[in-house]
Structure 1
Amino acid sequence: MLVIKSHDEFASHLGKELGFSDYHTITQEQINLFSDATLDHQWIHTDTERVKTESPFKATIAHGYLTLSLIPYLWKQIVDIQNLKMEINYGIEKLRFAQAVTVNSEVRLVVTLVDIANLRGVTKATIGITLEIKDQKKAAFTGEAVFLYHFI
């Protein structure tokens, strides 16, 4: 795991891959809980019988936003940013969902530091994000996550 303790340490990684997370298995229970939390119960996510005959995937698929919601969990497996007063999710840019994630797929996050700026003492970091699906050529999504870090 990469440890970062200051803006300057962070900036030294500009343009470099920061690493990748462990694989995380997307379960039907996780999909169902996300459906309940977001009130999105579309059958392609929750109807394990109907998908066998009507879905091109022949299995339920994770919500795109479920896969996005894994970013903080997987990001914390890659980088330990220390000496912080606060960190804020600032945005997601250039996001593209490239492939559906079927139930029981394993996914991992791969990240690169795309841009970094010091905004009057606040570090704005733009992180290239790719959610890979194990044994698949296409990623689930690609994009850029933007975080604000208030170092001590």
Structure 2
Amino acid sequence: MSTPLTTPVIVSLDDLPGLQGRTLGPSDWRTISQEDIDVFADLTGDHNPIHVDEAFAASSVYGTRIAHGLLSLSIVVPHLAQLWKVTGAGVGINYGLNKVRFPAPTPAGARVRAGAEVLEVTELDGGWQVVLKVTYELEGGEKPVCVAEFVLRYYR
């Protein structure tokens, strides 16, 4: 694996509120291969032909096989690791999502990267909740392939 080009913003747990409103990234590009799509289809049981059937997808509105939208969401961790690192937390968890949209498809073999904006930082008992708007950009694309508000929690 190659060394990432992006250097993450490093912030301590107690300094999280100072990141509100800040943009992060973008991350390095990542190729979404047909093998990635096939493995995701097998793992989730979602074998919709738009994802896995080359002949079907060729005659679709997209003209090719496309990645599952939920596959985009599932690869957020390595992208976020390139965008930021929270130090001083005993544990960080994905608490959920507020809003998710897939404005454009991700064709098999395409490259995506992510950028983020820290929308909210709210104090919790023993830590902080962060709402992070993550936008996945498609290389050469006009629209993002995914825009999601992740709710993350960091505890002491």
- For the criterion TM > 0.5, the same-fold answer is yes
Deviations 1:70-102 (A, max 9, x none): 111211111111222111111111211101110
Report the residue type matching 1:18 in the other structure: L
2:90 match: secondary structure: strand
Q: Give the aligned partner of residue 26 of structure 1.
A: 32
1:17 pairs with 2:19: no
TM-score, normalised by the number of residues in structure 1: 0.93
CA distance in 1, matches of 2:95, 2:126: 16
Q: Give the aligned partner of residue 57 of structure 2.
A: 51
Deviation of 1:50 (Å) = 2.6
Gaps of 5+ in 1: none
- Cα contact 2:13–2:154 (8 A) shared by 1: no
Identity in percent: 30
Deviation of 1:136 (Å) = 0.8
1:84 match: secondary structure: coil
CA distance in 2, matches of 1:116, 1:123: 7
CA distance in 2, matches of 1:6, 1:63: 34
- State which of 110, 116, 126 in structure 2 corresponds to 1:111: 116
Q: Give the aligned partner of residue 5 of structure 1.
A: 12
Q: Give the aligned partner of residue 62 of structure 1.
A: 67
Gaps of 5+ in 2: 1-7
TM-score, normalised by the number of residues in structure 2: 0.91
Map 1:56-135 → 2, pairs under 5 A: 56-135=61-140
The Cα RMSD (Å) is 1.1
Q: Give the aligned partner of residue 137 of structure 1.
A: 142
Q: Give the aligned partner of residue 150 of structure 1.
A: 155
Q: Give the aligned partner of residue 4 of structure 2.
A: none
Deviations 1:116-148 (A, max 9, x none): 011122210000111111111100121210000
